[in-house]
Amino acid sequence: MRAFVLAALLPLTAFAADEQLIERGKYLARAADCVACHSIEGGAEYAGGLPLESPFGTIYGTNITPDKQYGIGEYSADDFYRAVAEGERRDGSKLYPAMPYTSYHLLKREDSDAIYAYLMSLEPIAKPSPQTDLSFPFNLRFGLSFWNMLYKNRVQLQPAEGKSEAWQRGQYLVEVLGHCGECHTPRNALGALQQDQRMQGAVLLGYEAPSLLADDLAARGWNPEDLATFLKYGISAQGSMFNEMYPVFHHSTQYLPQDDHQAMATYLLGDQPPEARQVASVALDKLDESAQQGRQQYLNLCAGCHGAEGEGIPHVAVAMAGNTTLRLSDSRNLLRVIDDGIKAQQFTGFERMQPMPGFSDTLDDTQMRDLLHYLRQTWGGLDAELSPQQVSQLRSEKGH
């Protein structure tokens, strides 16, 4: 009788273990932000189709549901690990490094297996992905063998000796699962990460993915508490996530436990973080002539939402005072936001940002220059000056 009971319980135990593995895989897939690149807005998660723009052409996120024809239904756990960590499909062909195997090569095998178990538990979606469209010679996949010999495993973790447990956990989340360096590190002419400038910032499609070095973060007003809040809620005293960071929040960081947010902030700012730099607002009569002219543009276009004195409106529009975008040494992101606008954004809890219109057709280069000077000198602690010609050049770089 006892043997019979034990035999009956074994399938239940195995089922519970499988459920735990799938649940862990779901968490890891969130932490690795898989859904952001393998889904399109309004489409089924992980069914692929998202166009990923690059200087070499358009690469499309693939279907990674367990569909046997169009997805990964024929993949074994070994096949999946090779694809994720080595950039190699089941048929042996090479993946383009838009798939961040250059960071994922450090992924723990047990984590890959958990993600695989989760993906294989999903409903198969029979949807083909569009064909990647790259210019010659980048459309020749065999060339990736030589690229991989040079660059595939160059991302390595710095020694963790003497670091806190939170720092070590954050390192794995930031450098491997979150693959933050793939966007925040500049690339060379062949699209490879320039490791000597790791996390020092890079330009993507006309926007700057800013430096994540501790001193640079602190110079823009970040401390560990606010950075952890930003990762959890998508918004903090320093502003809100937008552009390519909003999908990272929307699909990934908001779902992670608070310990993960704190670990990531600890890793980025260090166990002994530098002191966050505070910037006092500058009175109008202390600004240069261009910035004083920009005050009128601000009142005409911005003050209705962001406040006449930059105070913002809670749950509607971010404040200008303390805003980290105004403190970047490059005016690019601020200019692009003013030109392009931002769609309405849903954040965690009660936080929602109403849509911001773009003003590319409203402001000429001189007016834009004046508005940038007003914002950056008043609340950004910066006195750097731009010419209308430099503004025109920045505007022309959209999408590059």
**φ and ψ at residue 342, rounded to 5 degrees:** -140, 135
Fold for 284-396, please state it: Cytochrome Bc1 Complex; Chain D, domain 2 (1.10.760)
Mean pLDDT of the chain: 91
Domains 165-269 and 284-396 share a fold: yes
Q: Is the pLDDT assigned to residue 210 strictly greater than 90?
A: yes
Q: What's the pTM value of the predicted model, to 2 decimals? A: 0.91
Cα separation, 396 vs 389, in Å, equals: 11
pLDDT value at residue 353: 82
* C-alpha–C-alpha distance, residues 370 and 67, integer Å: 54
pLDDT at 400: 44
Confidence of residue 4 (pLDDT cuts 50, 70, 90): low
Distance of CA 53 to the CA centre of its chain: 15
| 137: preceding bond cis by omega (within 30 degrees) | yes
Alpha helices for the chain (secondary structure H) = 2-31, 34-37, 77-81, 101-104, 109-120, 144-151, 165-171, 181-184, 214-219, 224-233, 245-251, 258-269, 289-301, 303-306, 332-340, 365-379, 388-396
pLDDT tens-place string over residues 77-89: 999 999 999 999 9
Whether 368 and 387 have beta carbons less than 8 Å apart is answered as no
Q: Which of 13-22, 154-163, 223-232, 349-358 has the highest mean pLDDT?
A: 223-232
Contact by Cβ (8 Å): 12, 42: no
Using alpha carbons, select from 61, 46, 68, 47 the residue that is nearest to residue 96.
61
Contact 257, 155 (CB under 8 A): no
Kindly state the DSSP code that residue 85 receives in the 8-state scheme: I
Beta bridge partners of 292: none
| Burial environment of residue 385 by CB neighbours within 10 A (0 to 12, 13 to 18, 19 or more) | middle
Rounded Cα distance between 70 and 68, Å, is 6
> Strand pairing partners for 202?
209
Cα–Cα distance for residue pair 371/257, rounded to 1 Å: 40
In the predicted structure, residue 12 carries a pLDDT above the cut 60 = no
Q: Does domain 165-269 fall into CATH 1.10.760? A: yes
Alpha carbon 115 to its chain centroid, in Å, reads 20
Task: Give pLDDT tens digits for 291-326.
Answer: 999 999 999 999 999 999 999 998 889 999 999 999
**Half-sphere exposure in the Cβ direction for 377 (13 Å, CA):** 24
| Domain boundary assignment for the chain | 18-151, 165-269, 284-396
